[in-house]
Chains A and B, each alone.
Chain A
Amino acid sequence: MRKVAIVAAASRQEEKMLDTEVEMMIPLISEVKAKTGLDQTEIGFTCSGSSDFLAGQAFSFVMTLDAVGPVPPISESHVEMDGAWALYETWVKFQMGIIDTALVYSYGKPSPGSLQDVLSTQLDPYYVAPLWPDAHAVAGLQARTLLEQGIINVDQLADCAVRAGTVESREEYFSQPMLSDPLRKADCPTYADGGVAMILAAEGKAEELCEKPAWITGIDHRIDVHHFGVRDFTTVPSARIAAEKAGVHDGPIDIAELHAAYTTHDLLLRKEMGLPETPNHSQRSYPIKADTLMASGLLRIAEAARAIWEGDANRALAHATAGPLLQQNLICVLSGEDT
């Protein structure tokens, strides 16, 4: 496989943003271009991820394309997925050998809409969506199974909430009422508007653009079954396969940036991927505190890259998820060492 690295990233998250998607993305895209000195005409491929449902408008990504400055025209694509999958599509383009640089971005603005209603429309449209279960309830169903089968315990939930910063202490955690029994508010995500942009470059170019490129040593993504009745709530086979294919176990992981919006997801993912509950370094930020649908996964990859640029990690794992009950998962392993 051709060596590809992340050489620049910029991101922003706020609870509620006044800027349009274009106004939000321009400074971020400008920043990564400035960091690398690349002009849009020097970028081989551009790819983004976003959701029309979140934006409340069909073809919403068309207007956001203005943020890139696609004049003259660019080679470009868009996934109706988290930006982490836009990065995957881009990585594949690098493997074709037809590009040396790429721009990847994604964004989400949940604040204008009712995110729980939006998320309900992602569920089986015949049997489940008409009952409008919200994301917290779906997570609650899984959480009870995990607790009652002894796969995780409530103390672990409390400790995870403390790590994520949704509460200060176990005591504070246990003093919270149930939100979606057995989950408390501290177990569940707070949503944020936000976006992320990054530049990727192939070996030979990456070293010119970045002092310490964050090399992608492995990347893979998989999807599980959707039908709730068939899902085993205690496992995430897709994450396990993706982790293996991405070579997670080929060396020590210094930092794991997980797109876990619930404490239960965090603990279950670590278990499935054989990661210690507390890594050597904590995550740089937690989706439980600020989850930006469609961008959270790409943001994890940006954070993992930052950990490498800043010397916090030699080898970092980033994870993205989509769908209910961690149905679809992407794992990306980054390394600071030019292996």
Chain B
Amino acid sequence: MGTGGELAAVVGVGMTKFSATRGDVSMPGLVREAAQRALEDAGMQWDDIDAVVMGKAPDFFEGVMMPEIFLSEALGCVGKPMLRVHTAGSVGGSTALVAASLVHSGVHERVLTVAWEKQSESNAMWALSLKQPFQVSINAGAGGYFSPIIRQYMEVTQAPELIGCMVAFKDRQHALLNPYAHLHQPDLTFDQVVESPMLWEPIRYSETCPSSDGAAAMVIVNEAEADKAENPAWIHAGAMRSEANNFPGRDEVNPLASRECAADLWKQAGITNPREEIDVVEMYVPFSWYEPMWLESLGFCERGDGWKLVESGVTHIEGGDLPVNCSGGVLSSNPIGASGMIRFAEAALQVRGMAGDHQVTGAKKAMGHAYGGGAQYFAMWVVGQDKPAA
């Protein structure tokens, strides 16, 4: 049952303020800000940490190859083990899982994990559109890639056209409850979302994520350490799955890797009815329509019903019974390499009762979710207020 090996829990969470340009800090300063907050939350000193696991998306964003190497001292890692994970957009989640594995395995007792991106050092469109010679496919950026998939979802489910706008509006409202969120748009109206320019039809400007600077960090410890903590978030399950990008018969709308990753996750966590048993979800939604798509794929509802949950307000923090992305989600803050870890960390904050204004009352079990590549890399975890059942 569970994740295998020893129990592990999150006892420290730290995040930076997310913004288009964090002009006040260097790269060391940025990662340090999140890491320091996580340590303070955990009541620990740098010396208490056994190892550091860093996650980040492509090194081209900052133009530093393997930047964990020069960030060793900023993260108090000198003389310690340092791992650097990169699994495309899911990396923040994968990184947390690798850090957790160091504890589950009994190799370490206290691990610091940090994921970050400082996208303002370059330009995301530049870094993501590097075109190799002889490449046949055109590269129209992430929007151009995911739009045809979303179009097929809409066709299959016959979802009303404005579902995506509802998700976007909801997440921007949620962001107002999170002081760290990049986008704070108190005056935004639903009509403005609907009327925002169509960028990658059917994706409107307001249905896309921003490009952010930011970092997230967590301290993950073993059972003995977690027992000393006031409100640990126990890791009940963790799963990763990957599949190829393009192959005959690939279901790109509801990828098998997503479904199998979720099935493994629920099995590990002993969850048979996610809709009932999960109190809050932090889901990787860089384009609004992915909320209903993942709700279906993850088993929160039947296939074709995801948009109905959105439409009926189930995923709204106010009045919804399955609030999704109470932090504002990727749609409100997107330092790419950190975005997955923010989901995992927000899930931990919820079950620790430390999510502040975006706290879901009485949240006991939460899911953190991340995906990447052409919707082909998945990382997920379930954290809970209570120790996992033996």
Contact = CB atoms under 8 A, between A and B. Distances in A.
Given A59-B373, A76-B241, A81-B83, 20 more contacts: A52-B58, A53-B65, A56-B132, A62-B245, A62-B377, A65-B242, A71-B243, A73-B255, A75-B242, A76-B87, A76-B240, A80-B59, A81-B84, A95-B5, A96-B3, A96-B104, A97-B5, A98-B3, A237-B79, A328-B69
A322 to B, nearest CB: 7
Interface in A46-68: 51-53, 56-59, 61-63, 65-66
A73 B242 contact: yes
29 contacts: A51-B66, A57-B130, A59-B58, A62-B374, A70-B243, A70-B244, A70-B257, A73-B255, A74-B242, A76-B242, A77-B98, A80-B59, A85-B83, A89-B83, A92-B101, A93-B105, A96-B5, A98-B5, A121-B65, A122-B65, A122-B69, A222-B79, A223-B69, A223-B72, A223-B78, A226-B70, A226-B72, A322-B66, A327-B69
A126 to B, nearest CB: 7
Given A51-B65, A53-B65, A76-B242, A222 B5 contact: no
B64 A79 contact: no
A222 to B, nearest CB: 6
A221 B242 CA distance: 27
Main secondary structure of the interface of B (DSSP, over half): loop
A249 B284 CA distance: 47
A62 B73 contact: no
Interface residues of A, number: 62
Contacts of A1: 106
A80 B85 contact: yes
A93 B101 CA distance: 7
B88 interface: yes
Contacts of B77: 223
Interface in B165-216: none
Contact of A89 (B62, B98, B244, B247): B98
A210 B77 CA distance: 38
Contacts of A225: 72-73, 78
A221 B376 CA distance: 30
B356 interface: no
B70 A124 contact: yes
Contacts of B58: 52, 58-59
Contacts of B65: 51, 53, 118-119, 121-122
B288 interface: no
A322 B68 CA distance: 11
A259 interface: no
A88 interface: yes
Interface of A: 1, 51-53, 56-59, 61-63, 65-66, 69-81, 85, 88-89, 92-98, 118-119, 121-126, 129, 220-227, 230, 237-238, 241, 322-324, 327-328
Given A121-B63, A225-B78, A226-B72, A58 B128 contact: yes
A53 B245 contact: no
B301 interface: no
Given A57-B130, A71-B244, A222 B81 contact: yes
B256 interface: yes
Contacts of A57: 130, 132
B26 interface: yes
B70 A123 contact: yes
B59 to A, nearest CB: 5
Given A58-B128, A78-B85, A73 B241 contact: yes
Contact of A95 (B3, B73, B106): B106
Contacts of A323: 66, 69
B260 A70 contact: no
A96 B4 contact: yes
B78 A224 contact: yes
Interface in B80-114: 80-88, 94, 97-98, 101-102, 104-107
